[in-house]
Amino acid sequence: MTKSTVPSPPGLVRPWLTADARRWAATRPPWWARPVLAAPVLVLALVVVLALSPDQVCSPQSPCGEQWWDAVGTMLLVPHLVGLFVLPELAVLTGPVLLFYGAGPVRWQGGTGEKVADGAMIAALCWTSAVAGARLLGRRRQRRLVREAAGGLTGRAPRPTDRDAASRGPIRIVLGALLCAAAAGVLGSVVLDDTATDRTARTAAVRDVPVVAYSRDDYLLTVRLPDGHRHRFDVIGDYTGVRTVRVRVRDERDGTWVQLAAEPYGDHFVRQALGLGLAGLGLVSLVSGLLARRRMAALRHGPVPVLRVRVRGNEGRTEVFAFDDPEYARPVLHYVPSTGVPAPAGPAVLYGAVSKGGAVVLSGAGPDGLPFVEASLPPIRPGAVEAPAETAGSGDTDDDIGPWDPDSPVTGREAEHLLAAEVRVGHALATLPPGGVPVRWHAGPVARGVGILQLLAVTAVVAVAWWHGFVWHVVVAMGFGAAVWLVYLTSLMFWRITADMDGLRIGTLGRGRTVPWALVSGAHRTRRGELVVSRAGGLPPLSLGTVGSPTLERRLRRPGRATIAAAQITAMARDPRLRPALRA
């Protein structure tokens, strides 16, 4: 069918039907293309590389400079990780640069451990780049499905009545330009200082002086100058066992100017990190603003797909429904309106090749008959609006929800997750013997094996940092992170629930509590892997923490022990005849 541009009346515009909307909502990247999986692996690989990298050996023949290449390569990880979550267009650009940096010959001159760590970092960078590419391909498929649903009909989107939608792009561009200018100022000050140092060094005398003290923990080198005074340097290299060093000395009116010949520029790490960090954030803001401006310009100046939909305001957001969903039961997507006021419930016209993270324009008529036009503020999200923060702990969020209700307004992965849980509960109701012996559920050998491997990995990272002489407060911070991770591992490896005639005994590693059957209303696994026991009487639910990976269980097509426990506990709560008849 040839494309045509439709006039503003929506009579010729096709409706966005439920079947097409479900296909759009079901278009997601594969399970491995989740940033929450790839980003921690990249960060962990970088930490191991830094921990295993030996200290530089600085000499007058091969002095240690500013290491701009290493600094830029390391600081580029910040915009890469940020882009991985919110701006995949930027991540696909920074990924090849980081791969080129990590694959350089200089990176492969260390020992076996360092080469293995560098290889792991290269593999992690390939993974994150593939994640960004997969997310962009998923968005392209969504745009194609919208064009197909519109039947090739396009129209020019009306201009929003507010200026916020049009100004967000330029604001980000200006902010990014200011951050980049600030970064240029900070980095320029480092270059100017180095240039001034070079000018002074040309007229300085060269002397070999004795080393008085060297602290490998603080990287401080103390020397005795020819006039008998001591001078302390902040150094980069390793001076263990060095007895004399070469310095440049010049007497000036305001004191003696001293410089290490092996490290002519000193330590400018703080200013380097600040400048490159500002440049990274400026790059993110600049690219984000340019993309937002480009998307809004495409909506204003070019023909875009047009669809008839139904809309409704919910929690400050505008929800979009299929046109043949008059009950407003299955939201297709939602976004923050540029006007700040969600669209009123009713039919509307949607302009734009809709995709996650994209931009759309919505036009319709309010209850008073007056027309309205609003644009979306990114990001566009599929599915229903999440529960507000004040109710996040009450079991009403999409990741913490009870038994499946066929009439509940959830779609996509939430509906699949809840439907599968209800199927398992039905199987438990049909197979559990009535009045049996006490039942015990606990972590299996696979979960405990995974927990032990993670514990060994975290311990190895902290031990390597300590062995290679990291600053003590860095080791303490890493140890604190390891202790927090240990809490997660405790839930994963040592959770247990016992059901007897009195109720449920819930605990982890020596701690536990008893919940009588009168207060047990069911149990469920969240999509994050938590095992939660719901209680009646308005009491808050009891969570055993993350006790497994539902995603891995789905891939292996084998429900974990916690998933089986949730189904059987829910069946016992619904049918008292299935509860054990003996005490544990």
pLDDT along the chain (584 residues), means of 10: 42 85 84 84 81 70 70 78 86 87 66 77 89 91 90 82 58 86 86 81 84 81 85 80 85 74 73 81 85 80 88 85 87 83 87 86 82 82 56 32 40 63 84 84 75 72 62 57 67 83 79 82 82 80 75 66 88 90 77
Eight-state DSSP code of residue 15 = B
- Residue 432 near residue 571 (C-beta atoms within 8 A): yes
User: Edge to edge, what strands does the sheet with 439-442 contain?
Assistant: 439-442, 495-499, 503-508, 511-516
- Confidence at residue 110, expressed as pLDDT on a 0 to 100 scale: 63
What number of other Cβ atoms are within 10 A of residue 111's Cβ?
10
Instruction: Give the pLDDT confidence score for residue 413 in this predicted structure.
Output: 59
Nearest to 402 by CA among 254, 550, 573: 573
Q: How many helices (H) and strands (E) does the chain have?
A: 13, 20
What is the rounded distance in angstroms from the CA atom of residue 147 to the CA atom of residue 150?
A: 5
The alpha carbon of residue 371 and the mean position of all alpha carbons in its chain are separated, in whole angstroms, by 39
The pTM score is 0.60
CA 239/CA 236 separation, integer angstroms: 9
Cβ contacts of residue 477 below 8 Å, gap of 6+? none
Phi, psi of 575 (to 5 degrees): -120, 100
Instruction: Tell me the sheet residues that pair with 318.
Output: 313, 335
The 8-class DSSP code of residue 5 comes to E
Note the pLDDT tens digit of each residue in 291-312: 888 887 778 777 889 999 999 8
Q: 152's torsion region: left (phi>0), alpha (psi -120 to 50) or beta?
A: left
pLDDT for 398 = 32
List all residues 6 or more positions away from 182 whose beta carbon is below 8 Å from its beta carbon.
Answer: 278, 282
Angle of helix 77-86 versus helix 269-301 axis, rounded to 10: 30
Contact 374, 365 (CB under 8 A): no
pLDDT at residue 309 in the model: 93
Do 102 and 122 touch, CB atoms closer than 8 A? yes
So what's the pLDDT on residue 485? 66
The pair of structure tokens assigned to 132 is: 């960004």
Residues in the chain, how many? 584
Q: Return the closest-CA partner of residue 259 out of 190, 209, 295.
A: 209
Count of CA atoms in the C-beta half-sphere (13 A) of 197: 19
H-only helix segments in 255-327: 269-301
Strand 205-215 vs strand 304-314: parallel, antiparallel, or unpaired?
A: unpaired
Residues 6 or more apart whose CB falls under 8 angstroms from that of 40 comprise none
- For residues 332 and 21, the answer to whether their CB atoms sit within 8 Å is yes
Measured distance CA(378)–CA(296) in Å, rounded: 11
Residue 103, token pair as written in the block: 């694959």
Contact 157, 351 (CB under 8 A): yes
Q: Which residues contact 568 (CB under 8 A, 6 or more apart)?
A: 428, 432, 439, 441, 499
Cβ(318)–Cβ(374) below 8 Å: yes
Cis peptide upstream of residue 379 (ω within 30 degrees of 0)? yes
State residue 349's pLDDT score.
92
Q: Classify 563 as helix, strand or coil.
A: helix
Q: Between the CA atoms of 273, 279, 283 and 285, what dihedral angle is there, to the nearest 10 degrees?
A: 90
Kindly state the tokens that stand for 89: 């267009």
Structure tokens belonging to residue 360: 């759309």
pLDDT of residue 389: 31
Give the model's pLDDT for residue 308.
Answer: 92
Please report how many Cα atoms fall inside a 13 Å half-sphere around the Cα of residue 252, on the Cβ side: 12
Sheet with strand 542-546: strands edge to edge = 520-525, 530-535, 542-546
- pLDDT of 328 reads 84
Q: Is 472 left (phi over 0), alpha (psi -120 to 50) or beta?
A: alpha
pLDDT value at residue 340: 73
**Are the C-beta atoms of 109 and 53 separated by less than 8 Å?**
no
Output the pLDDT for position 264. 78
- Burial (CB count <10 Å: 0-12, 13-18, 19+), residue 270: exposed
Torsion sign over Cα 396, 401, 406, 412: positive
Name the amino acid, one letter, at 38: A
| Cβ atoms of 169 and 292 closer than 8 Å | yes
Dihedral sign from CA coordinates of 215, 216, 220, 225: positive
